[in-house]
Chains A and B, each alone.
Chain A
Amino acid sequence: MRILVNGERLTTDAHSLDELCEALGFAGAKIATAVNGSFVAAPARGRTRLAEADEIEIVAPRQGG
Protein backbone atom coordinates (compact mmCIF):
# COMPACT_ATOMS: atom_id res chain seq x y z
CA MET A 1 0.00 0.00 0.00
CA ARG A 2 1.27 3.46 -0.87
CA ILE A 3 0.94 6.21 1.71
CA LEU A 4 2.50 9.57 2.52
CA VAL A 5 4.52 9.80 5.72
CA ASN A 6 5.59 13.32 6.67
CA GLY A 7 5.02 14.38 3.10
CA GLU A 8 7.11 11.62 1.54
CA ARG A 9 5.83 8.65 -0.47
CA LEU A 10 6.25 5.30 1.23
CA THR A 11 5.21 1.76 0.41
CA THR A 12 4.30 -0.25 3.49
CA ASP A 13 2.81 -3.56 4.57
CA ALA A 14 1.74 -2.09 7.93
CA HIS A 15 -1.96 -2.51 8.61
CA SER A 16 -2.23 -0.13 11.54
CA LEU A 17 -0.64 3.16 12.49
CA ASP A 18 1.03 1.41 15.39
CA GLU A 19 2.64 -1.13 13.04
CA LEU A 20 3.83 1.66 10.77
CA CYS A 21 5.46 3.56 13.66
CA GLU A 22 7.18 0.39 14.78
CA ALA A 23 8.36 -0.45 11.25
CA LEU A 24 9.88 3.03 11.00
CA GLY A 25 11.78 2.51 14.25
CA PHE A 26 9.64 4.76 16.42
CA ALA A 27 8.75 2.13 19.05
CA GLY A 28 9.17 3.81 22.42
CA ALA A 29 10.07 7.16 20.82
CA LYS A 30 8.64 10.50 21.93
CA ILE A 31 6.25 11.10 19.03
CA ALA A 32 2.71 12.18 18.26
CA THR A 33 0.68 11.24 15.21
CA ALA A 34 -2.04 12.43 12.87
CA VAL A 35 -3.80 10.73 9.98
CA ASN A 36 -5.33 12.77 7.15
CA GLY A 37 -5.12 15.95 9.19
CA SER A 38 -6.68 14.60 12.38
CA PHE A 39 -4.82 13.83 15.60
CA VAL A 40 -4.57 10.14 16.55
CA ALA A 41 -3.77 9.61 20.24
CA ALA A 42 -1.12 7.05 21.13
CA PRO A 43 -3.59 4.50 22.58
CA ALA A 44 -5.64 4.64 19.36
CA ARG A 45 -2.75 3.88 16.99
CA GLY A 46 -3.26 0.12 17.26
CA ARG A 47 -6.86 0.29 16.10
CA THR A 48 -6.20 2.93 13.43
CA ARG A 49 -6.23 1.01 10.13
CA LEU A 50 -4.23 2.41 7.26
CA ALA A 51 -5.63 2.78 3.78
CA GLU A 52 -4.17 3.51 0.35
CA ALA A 53 -3.13 7.20 -0.01
CA ASP A 54 -3.42 7.97 3.70
CA GLU A 55 -1.42 10.99 4.79
CA ILE A 56 0.42 10.34 8.03
CA GLU A 57 2.19 12.86 10.24
CA ILE A 58 4.72 11.66 12.81
CA VAL A 59 6.08 14.53 14.90
CA ALA A 60 8.46 14.98 17.80
CA PRO A 61 9.56 17.81 20.14
CA ARG A 62 11.57 20.56 18.52
CA GLN A 63 12.91 24.02 19.30
CA GLY A 64 10.27 26.73 19.16
CA GLY A 65 9.71 30.41 19.78
Chain B
Amino acid sequence: MLELYRAEMSSRLLLGTAGYASPDLLRQAVQASGAEIVTVSLRRESARTKTGQGFWALIEELGCRLLPNTAGCHTAKEAVATAQMARELFGTAWIKLEVIANDDTLQPDVFGLVEAATELSGDGFDVLPYTTEDLSVAERLVAAGCEVLMPWGSPIGSARGLANKTALQTLRSYFPETPLIVDAGIGAPSHAAEAMEMGYDAVLLNTAVAKAGDPVKMAEGFARAVEAGRLAFEAGLLEPRDMASPSTPVAGTPFFKIDSVS
Protein backbone atom coordinates (compact mmCIF):
# COMPACT_ATOMS: atom_id res chain seq x y z
CA MET B 1 0.00 0.00 0.00
CA LEU B 2 1.09 3.54 -0.73
CA GLU B 3 0.68 5.83 2.27
CA LEU B 4 0.65 9.60 1.73
CA TYR B 5 -0.20 11.84 4.67
CA ARG B 6 -2.01 8.97 6.44
CA ALA B 7 -4.13 8.10 3.40
CA GLU B 8 -3.65 4.62 1.97
CA MET B 9 -3.78 3.92 -1.76
CA SER B 10 -3.45 0.70 -3.64
CA SER B 11 -2.45 2.35 -6.93
CA ARG B 12 1.01 3.86 -7.25
CA LEU B 13 0.16 5.84 -10.36
CA LEU B 14 -1.03 9.43 -10.01
CA LEU B 15 -2.56 10.88 -13.15
CA GLY B 16 -3.00 14.43 -14.40
CA THR B 17 -6.30 15.55 -15.90
CA ALA B 18 -5.03 18.08 -18.46
CA GLY B 19 -4.67 17.93 -22.21
CA TYR B 20 -7.13 15.18 -23.13
CA ALA B 21 -8.98 15.56 -26.41
CA SER B 22 -12.34 15.21 -24.69
CA PRO B 23 -13.86 14.82 -21.21
CA ASP B 24 -14.86 11.28 -22.13
CA LEU B 25 -11.26 10.35 -23.01
CA LEU B 26 -10.14 11.76 -19.68
CA ARG B 27 -12.74 9.70 -17.84
CA GLN B 28 -11.79 6.50 -19.68
CA ALA B 29 -8.06 7.10 -19.24
CA VAL B 30 -8.42 7.61 -15.49
CA GLN B 31 -10.42 4.41 -15.24
CA ALA B 32 -7.91 2.44 -17.33
CA SER B 33 -5.00 3.77 -15.28
CA GLY B 34 -6.49 2.59 -12.01
CA ALA B 35 -5.27 5.88 -10.50
CA GLU B 36 -6.86 6.77 -7.18
CA ILE B 37 -5.33 10.25 -7.10
CA VAL B 38 -5.72 12.76 -9.93
CA THR B 39 -4.18 16.21 -10.14
CA VAL B 40 -6.33 19.25 -10.83
CA SER B 41 -5.81 22.96 -11.08
CA LEU B 42 -7.69 26.20 -10.72
CA ARG B 43 -7.95 28.95 -13.27
CA ARG B 44 -9.77 32.24 -13.78
CA GLU B 45 -13.46 31.59 -14.31
CA SER B 46 -15.23 33.44 -17.10
CA ALA B 47 -18.56 34.93 -16.15
CA ARG B 48 -19.77 34.11 -19.66
CA THR B 49 -18.64 30.51 -20.21
CA LYS B 50 -18.28 29.25 -16.62
CA THR B 51 -16.06 26.45 -17.93
CA GLY B 52 -14.96 25.27 -14.51
CA GLN B 53 -18.44 24.32 -13.39
CA GLY B 54 -18.73 21.55 -15.99
CA PHE B 55 -15.23 20.30 -15.24
CA TRP B 56 -16.09 20.11 -11.54
CA ALA B 57 -19.08 17.88 -12.33
CA LEU B 58 -16.80 15.55 -14.29
CA ILE B 59 -14.20 15.44 -11.52
CA GLU B 60 -16.80 14.60 -8.88
CA GLU B 61 -18.01 11.75 -11.05
CA LEU B 62 -14.49 10.24 -11.21
CA GLY B 63 -14.55 9.65 -7.46
CA CYS B 64 -10.76 10.02 -7.12
CA ARG B 65 -8.87 11.75 -4.37
CA LEU B 66 -7.87 15.19 -5.65
CA LEU B 67 -4.41 16.69 -5.62
CA PRO B 68 -4.73 20.35 -6.63
CA ASN B 69 -1.62 22.04 -7.97
CA THR B 70 -0.26 25.57 -7.94
CA ALA B 71 0.89 25.34 -11.56
CA GLY B 72 2.02 28.61 -13.12
CA CYS B 73 2.92 30.32 -9.83
CA HIS B 74 6.25 32.12 -9.94
CA THR B 75 6.46 33.36 -6.37
CA ALA B 76 5.86 31.88 -2.93
CA LYS B 77 3.15 34.51 -2.34
CA GLU B 78 1.23 33.49 -5.47
CA ALA B 79 1.61 29.81 -4.61
CA VAL B 80 0.37 30.31 -1.05
CA ALA B 81 -2.72 32.26 -2.18
CA THR B 82 -3.40 29.67 -4.91
CA ALA B 83 -3.08 26.84 -2.39
CA GLN B 84 -5.53 28.59 -0.06
CA MET B 85 -8.03 29.00 -2.90
CA ALA B 86 -7.52 25.35 -3.88
CA ARG B 87 -8.12 24.12 -0.33
CA GLU B 88 -11.48 25.85 -0.22
CA LEU B 89 -12.42 24.95 -3.79
CA PHE B 90 -11.53 21.27 -3.66
CA GLY B 91 -12.09 20.61 0.03
CA THR B 92 -8.67 19.08 0.60
CA ALA B 93 -5.56 20.10 2.52
CA TRP B 94 -3.40 18.30 -0.06
CA ILE B 95 -1.46 20.58 -2.36
CA LYS B 96 0.97 19.78 -5.15
CA LEU B 97 3.18 22.78 -4.57
CA GLU B 98 4.77 24.23 -7.68
CA VAL B 99 6.79 27.42 -7.74
CA ILE B 100 8.26 27.85 -11.18
CA ALA B 101 11.64 29.49 -11.77
CA ASN B 102 11.86 29.41 -15.54
CA ASP B 103 9.16 29.21 -18.19
CA ASP B 104 11.28 27.31 -20.72
CA THR B 105 12.30 24.47 -18.43
CA LEU B 106 9.51 24.80 -15.85
CA GLN B 107 12.29 24.16 -13.36
CA PRO B 108 11.14 24.51 -9.76
CA ASP B 109 12.25 27.68 -7.97
CA VAL B 110 13.56 25.80 -4.99
CA PHE B 111 13.98 28.94 -2.86
CA GLY B 112 10.37 29.99 -3.35
CA LEU B 113 9.33 26.38 -2.94
CA VAL B 114 10.90 26.04 0.52
CA GLU B 115 9.44 29.42 1.54
CA ALA B 116 5.92 28.46 0.42
CA ALA B 117 6.20 24.92 1.86
CA THR B 118 7.16 26.35 5.25
CA GLU B 119 4.19 28.71 5.30
CA LEU B 120 1.67 26.18 4.01
CA SER B 121 2.81 23.37 6.32
CA GLY B 122 2.42 25.77 9.22
CA ASP B 123 -1.09 26.56 8.01
CA GLY B 124 -2.16 22.91 8.11
CA PHE B 125 -1.59 21.95 4.49
CA ASP B 126 -0.30 18.53 3.45
CA VAL B 127 2.36 19.71 1.03
CA LEU B 128 3.58 17.53 -1.85
CA PRO B 129 6.35 19.68 -3.35
CA TYR B 130 7.34 19.43 -7.00
CA THR B 131 11.08 19.81 -6.63
CA THR B 132 14.38 19.05 -8.30
CA GLU B 133 16.41 15.97 -7.40
CA ASP B 134 18.72 18.11 -5.24
CA LEU B 135 19.35 16.52 -1.87
CA SER B 136 19.98 19.74 0.06
CA VAL B 137 16.67 21.16 -1.15
CA ALA B 138 14.92 17.92 -0.23
CA GLU B 139 16.32 18.17 3.29
CA ARG B 140 14.99 21.71 3.65
CA LEU B 141 11.57 20.66 2.38
CA VAL B 142 11.41 17.85 4.91
CA ALA B 143 12.50 20.29 7.64
CA ALA B 144 9.74 22.63 6.44
CA GLY B 145 7.20 19.91 7.19
CA CYS B 146 6.83 18.07 3.88
CA GLU B 147 6.11 14.37 4.47
CA VAL B 148 6.23 13.55 0.77
CA LEU B 149 8.74 14.67 -1.88
CA MET B 150 8.13 14.80 -5.62
CA PRO B 151 11.40 15.24 -7.54
CA TRP B 152 11.17 15.73 -11.29
CA GLY B 153 12.38 13.02 -13.64
CA SER B 154 13.00 15.66 -16.30
CA PRO B 155 11.21 18.88 -17.34
CA ILE B 156 7.39 18.79 -17.41
CA GLY B 157 6.05 17.44 -20.69
CA SER B 158 9.54 16.67 -22.06
CA ALA B 159 9.11 12.87 -22.11
CA ARG B 160 12.82 12.48 -21.36
CA GLY B 161 12.38 10.10 -18.46
CA LEU B 162 14.81 10.02 -15.54
CA ALA B 163 17.49 12.53 -16.50
CA ASN B 164 19.59 12.18 -13.34
CA LYS B 165 19.26 8.62 -12.10
CA THR B 166 22.24 8.85 -9.77
CA ALA B 167 20.76 11.76 -7.84
CA LEU B 168 17.32 10.14 -7.77
CA GLN B 169 18.90 6.97 -6.37
CA THR B 170 20.77 9.05 -3.79
CA LEU B 171 17.50 10.68 -2.69
CA ARG B 172 15.91 7.25 -2.35
CA SER B 173 18.80 5.97 -0.26
CA TYR B 174 18.95 9.09 1.89
CA PHE B 175 15.21 9.17 2.61
CA PRO B 176 14.29 5.49 2.99
CA GLU B 177 11.09 6.23 4.91
CA THR B 178 9.82 9.34 3.09
CA PRO B 179 7.33 8.66 0.30
CA LEU B 180 9.06 9.73 -2.93
CA ILE B 181 7.14 10.27 -6.14
CA VAL B 182 8.76 10.97 -9.51
CA ASP B 183 6.74 13.84 -10.91
CA ALA B 184 7.24 15.13 -14.44
CA GLY B 185 9.18 14.09 -17.51
CA ILE B 186 7.86 10.53 -17.67
CA GLY B 187 7.33 9.79 -21.36
CA ALA B 188 7.10 6.02 -21.60
CA PRO B 189 5.97 3.15 -19.39
CA SER B 190 9.61 2.00 -19.25
CA HIS B 191 10.51 5.31 -17.53
CA ALA B 192 7.82 4.70 -14.94
CA ALA B 193 8.95 1.12 -14.41
CA GLU B 194 12.53 2.33 -13.97
CA ALA B 195 11.51 4.76 -11.23
CA MET B 196 9.54 2.05 -9.48
CA GLU B 197 12.40 -0.45 -9.75
CA MET B 198 14.62 2.13 -8.01
CA GLY B 199 12.24 1.98 -5.09
CA TYR B 200 10.27 5.14 -5.75
CA ASP B 201 6.89 4.92 -4.09
CA ALA B 202 4.85 6.22 -7.01
CA VAL B 203 4.95 8.18 -10.25
CA LEU B 204 2.89 11.16 -11.33
CA LEU B 205 2.37 11.80 -15.02
CA ASN B 206 -0.02 13.52 -17.37
CA THR B 207 1.18 14.38 -20.87
CA ALA B 208 2.44 10.91 -21.80
CA VAL B 209 -1.09 9.58 -21.39
CA ALA B 210 -3.12 12.61 -22.47
CA LYS B 211 -1.17 13.12 -25.70
CA ALA B 212 -0.77 9.45 -26.64
CA GLY B 213 -2.38 8.28 -29.86
CA ASP B 214 -4.67 6.16 -27.70
CA PRO B 215 -4.70 7.65 -24.19
CA VAL B 216 -6.83 4.85 -22.75
CA LYS B 217 -4.47 2.13 -23.93
CA MET B 218 -1.46 4.15 -22.77
CA ALA B 219 -3.06 4.59 -19.33
CA GLU B 220 -3.33 0.84 -19.03
CA GLY B 221 0.26 0.46 -20.25
CA PHE B 222 1.47 2.80 -17.51
CA ALA B 223 -0.62 1.03 -14.90
CA ARG B 224 1.05 -2.28 -15.76
CA ALA B 225 4.52 -0.73 -15.91
CA VAL B 226 4.13 0.82 -12.48
CA GLU B 227 2.93 -2.48 -11.07
CA ALA B 228 5.74 -4.40 -12.78
CA GLY B 229 8.37 -1.99 -11.50
CA ARG B 230 7.02 -2.15 -7.97
CA LEU B 231 6.89 -5.95 -7.98
CA ALA B 232 10.47 -6.06 -9.22
CA PHE B 233 11.61 -3.69 -6.46
CA GLU B 234 9.85 -5.76 -3.80
CA ALA B 235 11.23 -8.99 -5.26
CA GLY B 236 14.82 -7.68 -5.21
CA LEU B 237 16.69 -7.02 -8.43
CA LEU B 238 19.85 -8.75 -9.52
CA GLU B 239 23.04 -6.73 -9.18
CA PRO B 240 24.56 -5.96 -12.60
CA ARG B 241 27.95 -7.62 -13.22
CA ASP B 242 30.68 -7.21 -15.80
CA MET B 243 31.14 -10.84 -16.92
CA ALA B 244 28.62 -13.41 -18.07
CA SER B 245 27.25 -15.93 -15.65
CA PRO B 246 25.64 -19.03 -17.20
CA SER B 247 22.04 -19.54 -16.22
CA THR B 248 21.92 -23.17 -17.41
CA PRO B 249 23.71 -25.57 -15.03
CA VAL B 250 27.27 -26.21 -16.12
CA ALA B 251 27.43 -29.64 -14.45
CA GLY B 252 26.57 -32.42 -16.88
CA THR B 253 27.12 -30.44 -20.05
CA PRO B 254 27.40 -33.01 -22.92
CA PHE B 255 30.74 -33.30 -24.78
CA PHE B 256 32.50 -31.70 -21.85
CA LYS B 257 35.72 -33.58 -21.13
CA ILE B 258 37.68 -33.51 -17.93
CA ASP B 259 40.07 -36.37 -18.84
CA SER B 260 41.23 -37.74 -22.14
CA VAL B 261 41.50 -41.55 -22.85
CA SER B 262 44.96 -41.31 -24.32
Residues from chain B with Cβ under 8 Å of A30 in the complex: 52-53, 56, 89
1/0 per residue, CB under 8 A from B, across A27-60: the answer is 0011111100111011000000000000001111
Taking residues whose C-beta sits less than 8 angstroms from the other chain, chain B's interface range is: 35 or more
Question: Which residues of the partner chain A approach B20 to less than 8 Å between Cβ atoms?
Answer: 63
Contact pick for B52, options A38, A42, A62, A65, CB 8 Å:
A62
Distance, CA A31 to CA B89, complexed state (A): 6
Partner pick for B59 among A34, A38, A61, CB 8 A cutoff: A61
Chain B residues closer than 8 Å to A57, beta-carbon distance: 44, 85
Complex Cα gap A45–B43 (Å)? 19
Majority SS at the chain B contact face = mixed
- Given A60-B53, A65-B206, answer yes or no on A24-B47 (Cβ-Cβ < 8 Å): yes
**Contact A6/B44 with A29-B50, A33-B85, A64-B39 known, Cβ cut-off 8 Å:** yes
Q: Which of B41, B42, B55, B156 contacts A32 (CB 8 A)?
A: B42
Given the complex of chains A and B, what is the CA–CA distance between A6 and B56 in angstroms?
20
> Nearest CB to that of B156 among chain A residues?
A65
Residue of B nearest to A10 (CB): B47
Bound CA–CA A26/B46 (angstroms): 10
A59-B42 contact given A32-B88, A32-B89, CB 8 Å threshold? yes
Q: Considering residues B45, B89, B157, B207, which has the most beta carbons from chain A within 10 angstroms of its beta carbon?
A: B45
Contact B39 A34 (CB under 8 A): no
A-B contacts, 11 of them at CB < 8 A, read A26-B47, A30-B89, A31-B89, A38-B81, A59-B85, A60-B89, A61-B42, A61-B52, A61-B89, A64-B40, A65-B71
